[in-house]
A and B are shown apart, each in its own frame.
Chain A
């Protein structure tokens, strides 16, 4: 997938937020994990980062591949296990900057879908067991990579920056699959909000809890860091005050009317 932005935002933000916290051992270089505290609350930061020396050639640019999927599950499950008897579960913060899932023969052969399922299930389980789970979008959040790393969070936060993008597929491949030109695809993206690639259109879908204005998304200033820490703190308080551990908070967006209508019809017909 073509990419003009520097692909190291995830690593940059993990280092900025985590301060001096060491990277936990036992993970591949492409999965960085650090424990820190935010407002007196224990929290685990998790980021998928590029590893140019990965033995998997299709997963060297920050893609979520086989090792990354299973290792994300490990990072989350180890936090769940460590806090099993703790009165307060640590927060889990997924720092999202993933250009895509890994596209390759090795990946399909060994069941990359199962690796990504493992990661998604781990985040969902952590949320159901009372860990506040937050996704912080600092770069691209694409497709299967985002499903595995971030989309199961209680709250999704995004930097308000053109380099932050959410989508189901890169433009060239999406054009091929839907039998359109890239130009046609871009024309539709301008008028059909769920097809757009930019974060402002995405915000109209109601999936984001908050967008965070920053000066330098790729190289945060001290002000940026304190702004993001404050937003994370607010999100934790909002999760703690919420009696529900599910994803219903995402259904209120102006462009999600059909999602609400379908659920209302199902609920009214369910009992017969």
Chain B
């Protein structure tokens, strides 16, 4: 971007979850469900000395995008690292389940998920994990009827069980600030050692899991600038499409063939990954 373009754009990354959902939905259509005044806070955090939040870090907003009925599920990265506990997980899974029910009744509700999450909230461990499994189930159900669009803007990125959810989406949109990976860098370093994965080496982390690399290797579908208008326009374009007949998650034959060409005795470079996974035609 030029200096003038940089100065004139409105950053999406810098918006909180609620403002992001408002920015995507058509003006005047935003309606929040299970919001901060509905008394749905985590029943598990308080007894561990963590102050709960009224929305448990997830915003569920119904409205329209270019007139299409859409539910936006926005995760607030600033609360507990965007981690999913029982309540936040149930908000996402429950809303996706209702969107699928809408479609079975003839209402073409779409979904957009704004990922900003480290995955399972470890203070609610097994209920976070269970709710993420229910999010997966609901995406696979809904994507048969309508597109489910994932957006990873940054700065938390998308990790853990929610990276699997991102991999289930019909379309995945990323920015340069995005990161997408199963295991967070600190966890890999803890489990495998600093020689395997140096969690403090930010260029190294981004070179493998950053949005630009994920787009170049076909693990994301769109690469956009951190610009609210640009992100809204891409989401609106993708959401107006018919549901996909085939998903990235069904391409096991192709990925196994590509992996078969990789000599796993050597650590890969980012370029080697582009050679192997790029060119998704």
Q: A205 at the A/B interface (Cβ < 8 Å)? A: yes
When the two chains form the complex, which single residue of B62, B163, B187 contacts A270, counting CB atoms closer than 8 Å?
A: B62
B44 touching A121 by the CB < 8 A rule? no
With the chains together, A144 CA to B165 CA distance in Å? 11
With the chains together, A121 CA to B219 CA distance in Å? 16
Question: Chain B, interface size: which category?
Answer: 35 or more
Q: Given A118-B252, A262-B40, are A108 and B247 also a contact pair (CB < 8 Å)?
A: no
B188 to chain A: closest residue by CB: A103
A103 touching B187 by the CB < 8 A rule? yes
Q: A146 at the A/B interface (Cβ < 8 Å)? A: yes
With the chains together, A128 CA to B142 CA distance in Å? 11
Q: B156 at the A/B interface (Cβ < 8 Å)? A: no
Q: A98 at the A/B interface (Cβ < 8 Å)? A: no
With the chains together, A34 CA to B57 CA distance in Å? 43
Q: B47 at the A/B interface (Cβ < 8 Å)? A: yes
Q: B177 at the A/B interface (Cβ < 8 Å)? A: no
A264 to chain B: closest residue by CB: B94
Q: Which residues of B contact A107 (CB under 8 A)?
A: 182-183
A77 touching B250 by the CB < 8 A rule? yes
Q: Which stretch (A11-19, A82-90, A161-169) binds chain B? A: A161-169
Interface size on A, residues (CB 8 A): 82
Q: A258 at the A/B interface (Cβ < 8 Å)? A: yes
Q: Which residues of A contact B270 (CB under 8 A)?
A: 109
Q: How far is the CB of B170 from chain A (nearest CB, A)?
A: 12
Q: Which residues of A contact B118 (CB under 8 A)?
A: 177
Q: Chain B 180-204 against A: per-residue CB contact (8 Å), 1 yes, 0 no?
A: 1111101110111000110000000
Q: A113 at the A/B interface (Cβ < 8 Å)? A: yes
With the chains together, A26 CA to B56 CA distance in Å? 45
A114 touching B33 by the CB < 8 A rule? no
Q: Which residues of A contact B208 (CB under 8 A)?
A: 105, 108-109
With the chains together, A266 CA to B38 CA distance in Å? 10
Q: B224 at the A/B interface (Cβ < 8 Å)? A: no
With the chains together, A145 CA to B227 CA distance in Å? 36
B182 touching A144 by the CB < 8 A rule? yes
Q: Which residues of B contact A176 (CB under 8 A)?
A: 186-187, 190
A124 touching B164 by the CB < 8 A rule? no
B38 touching A128 by the CB < 8 A rule? no
Q: Given A152-B136, A176-B190, A256-B127, are A101 and B62 also a contact pair (CB < 8 Å)?
A: no
Closest 4 CB pairs of A and B: A117-B167, A113-B163, A262-B90, A151-B133
